[in-house]
Copies of this chain bind each other. A is one copy, B any other.
Amino acid sequence: MQKNRKVFQGNFFEDFHLGQVIRHGTHRTVTDGDASVYLSLTGARHALHSSATLSALLGYPSKPFDDLLIFNIAFGKTVPDISLNAVANLGYADIRFVSPVFSGDTLHCESVILGLRENTNKKTGVVYVRSTCYNQHDCTVLSWIRWVMVHKKKETSHSTENYVPLFDSFVGTDQLIPTANIPSRDILDEWCENTCSTTVWDNFSVGDTIVHPSGMTIEEADHMQATRLYQNNARPHFDEELMKDTKFGKRLVYGGHVISICRALSYDGLENVISILAINSGTHVNPTTAGDTLYARTEVLDKWKIPSRSDVGALRLRLLGYKNSPTSSNNMSNQKIINRDVKSELVLDLDYTVLMPKKQN
């Protein structure tokens, strides 16, 4: 009478339908412990998430979590239903950070299928999905769009639904929700003492480039621990037996960890970034695997005032992550690295918008 029970192994392309709503499992209470583990895995130094004294001055009831820690946890919730059978994560768009998250909050996520497009090879299709993360009060914490190439169950099946949604290329200033306040010049001074930098919104110009000097080598234990912290169970990150015969030859680093590492590296030169308001778009250009050393460079794409706010402004930034190619002055001039063809070394191209203090006037 032995019976093999069927285990849910994620949805295939045929399982998705336009307008379908999926409620994701594994609700998660986040704690200070998660912030500590995140810190030890990324080395993040952004001031708002490091000092409770400072976050209180900016009007928060307690120290808010790093936006990318919350993004990665929320993303992890969607993996079992959306991307367990993914060939590749093709891109992100319209990621909006709406409410801060504090220790003790419980997060849950929901997704809606926005678009479906079968590939001509009949083996795969692209799924466009908007996911939203809520806290225990059902307030939206963040929402994001991604599109993923997913395996079909059968070549012979075909989808009657074919719809490719269009997205804005960036989140407009009217959609940005800055939750930090810098109520006085004294508090701006205190902020700047924390960051040891007086380079604020006013000092940046469109076209500015920042070559971040540090590099970070990725270990298998590091990226797997990060990905498990996010309760993301996508197998290519964890199973060497599964991966050793693929074209990658080894486990892949979860893209969200690459974003977190590049963002931590970007601290030097962008010390006064308060928080992330939005991610406009993003691509993992090449895979990252253990042993790679990551470097980062930022370009200032745009510079916006925020409606009715004189204390803070927004910068639209392009964060480029490279592997095994130091951007610091150790091996080559900064100019060289910026100009030469580094396409094969590019692992991340992220267009995002940050909040930064502004000299009030």
Contact = CB atoms under 8 A, between A and B. Distances in A.
Interface string A27-49: 11101111111011111010100
A240 B9 CA distance: 38
A205 B27 contact: no
B5 A269 contact: yes
A360 interface: no
A39 B229 contact: yes
A157 interface: no
A302 interface: no
Contact of A51 (B23, B106, B229, B271): B106
Given A196-B25, A210-B5, A235 B222 contact: no
A16 to B, nearest CB: 16
A27 to B, nearest CB: 4
Nearest to A269: B7
Contacts of A9: 213, 268
Contact of A40 (B37, B51, B212): B37
B239 A216 contact: yes
B26 A31 contact: no
Interface string A203-217: 011111111111111
Residue among A45, A207, A241 with max Cβ neighbours from chain B (10 Å): A241
A210 B7 contact: yes
A40 B7 contact: no
A235 B228 CA distance: 26
A236 to B, nearest CB: 11
A326 B286 CA distance: 27
B45 A231 contact: yes
B52 A228 contact: no
A221 B224 CA distance: 11
A342 interface: no
A45 to B, nearest CB: 5
B240 A4 contact: no
A228 B43 contact: yes
Interface string A319-333: 000001110101100
Given A25-B271, A33-B31, A40-B228, A3 B207 contact: yes
25 contacts: A3-B209, A4-B334, A5-B209, A8-B268, A24-B196, A25-B47, A25-B194, A27-B53, A29-B50, A29-B52, A34-B36, A37-B37, A39-B228, A40-B228, A43-B228, A214-B233, A214-B239, A215-B239, A217-B239, A217-B241, A219-B219, A221-B221, A221-B225, A241-B326, A242-B326
Given A9-B268, A29-B53, A215-B235, 18 more contacts: A3-B205, A3-B209, A4-B334, A7-B212, A27-B54, A29-B50, A31-B33, A33-B35, A39-B228, A39-B229, A39-B231, A41-B228, A43-B231, A51-B106, A215-B239, A215-B242, A217-B240, A219-B221
